[in-house]
Chain A
Amino acid sequence: MTSRRRQLEVAMPWLVIVSLVIVWQLVVELFGIAQFVLPAPTAVFSAFMQYREPIIDHALFTLVNTMSGFAVGILVGVFLGIFIGSSRLVYAGLYPLLVGINSVPKAAVVPILVLWMGIGQPPAIATAFLLSFFPIAVNVSTGLATVEPELEDVLRSLGATKLDILRKVGLPRTMPYFFASLKVAITLAFVGAVISETVASNDGIGYLMIQSASQFRVPLMFAGLMVIAAMGIATYSVFAMIEGRLTGWATRRQDTHFGGG
């Protein structure tokens, strides 16, 4: 029973995607929807096969931008999170500013970034970074700020320094928050990179989509979208896997639940 449930759980995402594609195909054919409004999955697939080399080139460009921005986002986000989370004074001072920065629509910032950095890779990386560091910083600081005061007392009465408490309790405790934020941040990083590419680039999926839109090659646009979605899911699952390995203690309920049957 439990093993069948597990198999079903693994198969579930694929089943959902396949059924969605089938429904999509049926809707397009039954209602005779024009290709430049909503192309059928088959049309999207053939567009992908036809242009797969340029699509993959552009996708790799976008992937590199996303990952570079994301990497900087992790570094800045973690340090900012530790900084904010370990002092109430810093928290009070910086938090409103961060919320303000995060509330600015990043699409509106891209022209400024272009002004500073030119077009192409630099503004794409910067936008990916700007979108991804915030959830990381917020989650890391939350994890640190919610360490049980009793536990802190136990350690302080042993003569532990702030750094000791951070290393022994704060950071391990923050890991589940950190990984949760990575899963959000990586998808936001893709959004950032693509936004910047649509505005100011001659490469990348964003550029590809703007170009194909101006030529009404809607199946090609959709092919680009699918590639981004696939890359997003792939990176997400990588982090989910690392998360499962490192922070299994935080999701133990599910495991014991299955075992207890």
Chain B
Amino acid sequence: MKSFVDLDGVSLRYGETEGTLALERVNISIKPGEFAAVVGPSGCGKSSLMKLVTGLLPATSGSIRVAGNAVNGPLKIVGMAFQNPTLLPWRNTLSNTMLPLEIVQPHRSRFRSHKQEYVALAEKLLESVGLAGFGDKQPWMLSGGMQQRTSLCRALIHNPELLMLDEPFAALDAFTREELWTVLQDLWLERKFTCILVTHDLREAAYLADVVFVMSARPGRIVATHRIDLPRPRPLDLTFEPKFVEIVQKIRNEIAHARNEIRSAAPQPQKAI
């Protein structure tokens, strides 16, 4: 099957030739409709990877292809969500959710004339994540988990082919986080978009993803790839079963190994900043 997202020998260096190397010869291939997770120690360039795939940053070398086309500038079909929900405080929940429709074609030009239709669409989406009836609330009236649900809805309202998630649940409490895992899984099973989830939570990665890419510390390289062949939909209880714990342990060991590799390497003179 042809891959949907394809990174071939991608390196990224911030600044000129002297600058920090954030990513080194990264190869990643993600099939259409696949759920991929990228895990690694903090500062390994996971977020840089996201910016590269969406075309917000140009790669220093290597090639990036999304949906068969080389990425040369910001993609126009992507939904994004971050650790911070970044909702607009002057818009209510419904109107925050509909923001992409005011920008992405063809919705953009039909937005005014077909407003009712879009409102219904957004309300349905909010309902599916458990936010029925909260459309007219301002963001600050919502809890952190509800804000993050809204942020997910905003990322998905225009039916993007690619969803990029940068530690979307990192700031939430454990119960809310696990609840949102199931919400995200349900949305993905229903809509089958391609998804790249950047996270440092190994259980989160193993629970949600079809394939987990393990990155080394800076400069980030892919040190291992895991296929998670657990049946869907995965119940939350699965995360306490031995086979699941075993997968998580294995990934954890690889990351620990990647960290030690860096530490045991000869101490290089730090670049003055």
Contacts and interface: CB of A to CB of B under 8 A. Distances in A.
Interface of A: 148, 150-151, 153-160, 164, 168-169, 172-173, 175, 247, 249-250, 252, 256
A154 B86 contact: yes
A110 B103 CA distance: 48
A11 B99 CA distance: 42
Interface stretch (B28-36, B71-79, B115-123, B192-200): B71-79
Contacts of B54: 153, 157
Nearest to B86: A151
A155 to B, nearest CB: 7
B56 A156 contact: yes
Contacts of B155: 154
B72 to A, nearest CB: 13
How large, as a class, is the contact surface on chain B? 20 to 34
B76 A159 contact: yes
Contacts of B56: 153, 156-157
Dominant SS at the B interface? loop
Contacts of B105: 159
Interface of B: 51, 54-56, 74-76, 78-82, 84, 86, 88-90, 99-100, 102-105, 138, 140, 154-155, 158, 164
A249 B90 CA distance: 6
Given A159-B76, A252-B140, A168 B51 contact: no
B89 A249 contact: yes
A158 B88 contact: no
Contacts of A148: 84, 86
Contact of A169 (B74, B79, B81, B88): B88
Contacts, number: 67
26 contacts: A148-B84, A150-B82, A150-B86, A151-B86, A151-B88, A153-B51, A153-B80, A154-B80, A154-B82, A154-B154, A155-B99, A156-B74, A157-B78, A157-B164, A158-B78, A159-B103, A159-B104, A159-B105, A164-B103, A172-B90, A173-B90, A249-B90, A249-B138, A249-B140, A250-B90, A252-B140
A171 to B, nearest CB: 10
B158 A158 contact: yes
A150 B168 CA distance: 12
A158 B102 CA distance: 10
Contacts of B140: 249, 252, 256
Contacts of A249: 89-90, 138, 140
Contacts of A168: 88, 99, 102-103
A183 to B, nearest CB: 20
Nearest to A156: B74
A252 B74 CA distance: 35
Nearest to B54: A157
B84 A150 contact: yes
A40 to B, nearest CB: 49
A157 B104 contact: no
User: Which among A151, A154, A157, A159 has the highest number of chain B CB atoms within 10 Å?
Assistant: A157
A128 to B, nearest CB: 31
A10 B206 CA distance: 58
A180 to B, nearest CB: 16
B76 A158 contact: yes
A26 to B, nearest CB: 48
8 tightest CB-CB pairs across the interface, nearest first? A159-B76, A157-B78, A151-B86, A249-B90, A156-B74, A150-B82, A157-B54, A158-B103
